[in-house]
Structure 1
Amino acid sequence: MIFHTDRGSTYTAGAFTALCRRLEIRQSMGRVGSCFDNAAAEAFFSSLEWEVLSRNDFDTTSRARAVVIDWCYGFYNHRRRHSAAGGLSPINYENAALTRDAA
């Protein structure tokens, strides 16, 4: 799992980075002073919160992880359409870009 944030002190603190390593979460941070680096991450997490987290009560961390992973890989990347991608899912958008680039 990748956790994308800004470079705020909360996310760069040693205890937080150690927790991410322990949980096998890879950290990703935007460039300093660029609000646009976080736009895609903000949209993604907004969708995750609205479509998954607010609609489920999880008994265990394992169950929460399984549901989030299933949503990410089973729905969000393959079937969820994105207006910024011309109504295509991320996978279809990427495949279309690769096809265009190869032509």
Structure 2
Amino acid sequence: MIHSDQGTQFTSWAFTHRAKASGLVPSMGSIGDCYDNAMIESFWSRVQVELLDRQRWVTRVELANAMFEYLEIFHNRHRRHSALQMLTPIEFEQRQVRIVA
């Protein structure tokens, strides 16, 4: 699923066709709902500040590698999140698994 806002680029036939051709299901948020994308907007603002504003990449491959490192190495394994009692997502998940088990 690819969820987006009501922006014209996301409502176009070309976007919808490309998404479906890639095996994705296009989904749109409701109009005028400020809470609809709040979590992902917050996430992308952190990516912007912590990664994208700090460097420029020459190729898309370099950017893709930087995004992978940011998400898989830094964001999930090292970055502490206030919403997770200052644990990393990996630590939080491991703690939840222990509680359930």
For the criterion TM > 0.5, the same-fold answer is: yes
Q: How far does the alpha carbon of each residue in 1:23-73 deviate from its partner, in whole angstroms, 9 at most, with x for none?
A: x69577565265334222111100111111111111011111110111010
Larger CA deviation: 24-33 vs 47-56: 24-33
* Structure 1 spans left out of the alignment, 5+ residues: none
User: Matches of 1:48 and 1:91 in 2, distance apart?
Assistant: 18
Higher radius of gyration, 1 or 2: 2
TM-score where L is the length of structure 2: 0.74
Kept in 2: contact 1:30–1:37 (CA 8 A): no
Query: Which residue in 1 is equivalent to 2:34?
Result: 35
Kept in 1: contact 2:4–2:29 (CA 8 A): no
CA RMSD, aligned part only?
2.9
Kept in 2: contact 1:10–1:16 (CA 8 A): yes
* Structure 2 spans left out of the alignment, 5+ residues: none
Letter in 2 for 1:56: Q
Count of matched residue pairs: 100
The reply on whether 1:99 has 2:98 as its aligned counterpart is: yes
SS of the residue corresponding to residue 80 of structure 1 reads: coil
TM-score where L is the length of structure 1: 0.73
Kept in 1: contact 2:9–2:15 (CA 8 A): yes
Query: Which residue in 2 is equivalent to 1:47?
Result: 46
